[in-house]
Structure 1
Amino acid sequence: MLPWFKHKSDNSRCLGIELHNGQAFAILRDPTGVIECCSTQAGSDALAEISQWIEQHQLQHLPLVVSLDHQDYELHLLDAPNVPDHELSDALRFRVKDMITQPIEQKVVQGFRLPADAYRGRMDMAFAAVIDRQRIQQLVDWAQELHLELQEITIPELSILQLVAALEPEASVGVLRLDNKEGVFYLYQDGGLYMTRHIDVGVDDLGLDDVSEGELALETDSRLENLALEIQRSMDYFESQLGMGSVGQIWAMVPDAVEIDAIIPELEAAVNTSIRTLSLDSTFNRMSPPDSLTASLATALGGSLSYELAG
């Protein structure tokens, strides 16, 4: 669903939840922005902890958008079958069945096309998100138990797309998201997702807890070079293979555990592209006192932005 084709809600509030690395991150927003949030602890029963927060704040009967944990789905890039859009997911389901280890009957397949100008318009490609059917049912049952109006189950790639579109960048944007052990680099332009690339470098590798700006250790500097190389390869593919020109800017999402400001100048110099930290506080944060909208809360917010709330 393109971000400007939004669903309308009769409610003035909405819940967004991202499930990420076994944790859950929830935001409550109204038309002004995020007014409450909740982040569960690692190792806890994430849904049970979020349930307590929802009941404590009496948030039942609100519309809800859930963004899946990356561990809960696979994303495949395939040649798009020559079918109408409403038949795309079924057609991709047939193609993807030989690419997964479990029976296709146990999976839900949702397809969405790359923008028509990708690959200079010479190739029609589509993403296929392959999700465990039992996991979907678990989330549906959980929402029903809490009397929530589950509107959509989506994936981070599309939640962050909604977030980027809401900020209305004038050029293509690369979004960098770093977790403890790994990262992801997404490329968006004009309301479309063009590519997503897994990165085998995380904040633990960069030693950010011990780094201050301009004081990178040799090992950290080497890891930073690896990170810059992965980003550069992604941008080169976007420019040469996808035919989309140079990436206008990079937005670095704030990790859930540490700050990354210390590495931004060195990383920016290495990739020769403007990089800024994706700060959402002035645009969306209406919490008092304000909690920082780090990557997982920001992704939960992005999912919820697929719904226009009643004023």
Structure 2
Amino acid sequence: MRWPWQKKSLQDSRCLGIELHQGRGFAVLREADVVRECYRPADTEQGLDGLAAWVGRQQLQGVPVVLSLDALDYELHLVEAPAVSDDELGDALRFRMRDLLPQGSEQKIIQGFRMPADAYRRRLEMAFAVVVDHRRIKELVRWCKHQQLQLHSIIIPELSLLHLVAEMEPETAVGVLRLDADDGMIYLYRDGGLYLSRRLNTGTRALGLASAGEGELSLETDSRVDALALDIQRSLDYFDSQLGMGIVGQLWVLVPDNADVSELLPELERSVNIPVRSLLLESAFSNSGQETLTASLAIALGNALSFEQNDAALPVAGKVA
């Protein structure tokens, strides 16, 4: 199943993964299974001009690119899966969701992928529906064309991380936690499948960690870690009791783009009662430049991996091999 903007890629040993996040662009260049270069925008930078200049300096014209949408640019819905083939799933989801979409829905692209069949103890067949404005996709296609990049596919961060987690081959179900300044996300994966994507109300600012250079914890940090842990625990409990998928064995914490949460992880581990680890990717993915692969760069890496696995289209039944 392919999105309308996906193209067959040219053979190239390089791939550029781009993550769009909060109006900025992050990039990882992979070549021969090695992270060759990374682009991280300056803290004050907005838009994609800096990324475009970096692409030019790196002489990446013609390199295949996989790009993940900014969370501001799409909606992800979980709905009952229509009884149709995978090729017809997008159109069927559009019909099913017609009353949920606002006016102007004719300008929306809807694509879907099925939740793994073992969810909900096999009693329900569910699907994730991705809703994105067609005009935004056209803007991104034009941007890639202007940079002379070979656009391979546009995906969502949930699937970027799916490829990253699958590459690491965890033996248990895992949660992946992303914390930004004012909020966060938790994703739950098992056996190459996405089961849950949920926004959290706690970010690094509320935890007293406004930036990586401000390592002192506030007096209220402990209670806010408890609040974060409670929010995470709700997701873990839902995975176990409602989805019927058992216990999440580990929680992997993406290194925030602009904060250091390492001091909080032991307390978070005590609260959720499962192993909690920073997801340090540099050694696992041969980062030749020794750039710390923070959350946005990790997702960009997942994009590059999806190209290498030749599986950037939305996976059938929400899984990758």
TM-score w.r.t. structure 1 length?
0.93
Partners of 1:58 and 1:218 lie apart in 2 by 49
Structure 2 residue identity aligned to 1:308: E
Shift of 1:49: 1.4
Q: Secondary structure at the match of 1:98?
A: coil
Partners of 1:211 and 1:55 lie apart in 2 by 36
Residues 40 and 50, structure 1, Cα contact 8 Å, conserved in 2: yes
Counterpart check, 1:67 vs 2:68: yes
2:313 corresponds to: none
Counterpart check, 1:293 vs 2:310: no
Shift of 1:102: 3.6
Post-superposition Cα deviations, 1:100-139, rounded to whole Å, max 9, x if no partner, equal 2242211111100100000000000000010010000001
Post-superposition Cα deviations, 1:153-181, rounded to whole Å, max 9, x if no partner, equal 00000000000000000010000000000
Length, aligned pairs only: 301
Counterpart check, 1:206 vs 2:207: yes
Shift of 1:309: 7.9
Q: Secondary structure at the match of 1:181?
A: coil
Partners of 1:309 and 1:100 lie apart in 2 by 34
Structure 2 residue identity aligned to 1:116: A
**The structure with more helix, counted as a fraction of residues:** 1
Q: Secondary structure at the match of 1:305?
A: helix
1:105-254 matches, cutoff 5 A: 105-208=106-209, 210-211=214-215, 217-254=218-255
Post-superposition Cα deviations, 1:175-226, rounded to whole Å, max 9, x if no partner, equal 00000000000000000000011100000000125556xxx54411111111
Q: Secondary structure at the match of 2:284?
A: helix
Shift of 1:10: 1.6
What's the C-alpha RMSD, in Å, of the aligned pairs? 1.7
Partners of 1:102 and 1:265 lie apart in 2 by 47
Partners of 1:175 and 1:254 lie apart in 2 by 11
Q: Secondary structure at the match of 2:246?
A: coil
Residues 26 and 37, structure 1, Cα contact 8 Å, conserved in 2: yes
Identity %: 54
The worse-fitting range, judged by mean Cα deviation, of 99-108 and 49-58 is 99-108
TM-score w.r.t. structure 2 length?
0.90
Shift of 1:146: 1.6
Partners of 2:10 and 2:221 lie apart in 1 by 47
Shift of 1:44: 3.4
> Relative to 1, partners in 2 of residues 1:246 and 1:54: Cα closer, same or farther, differing over 3 Å?
same
Unaligned runs of 5+ in 2: 2-7, 311-321
Partners of 1:184 and 1:302 lie apart in 2 by 16
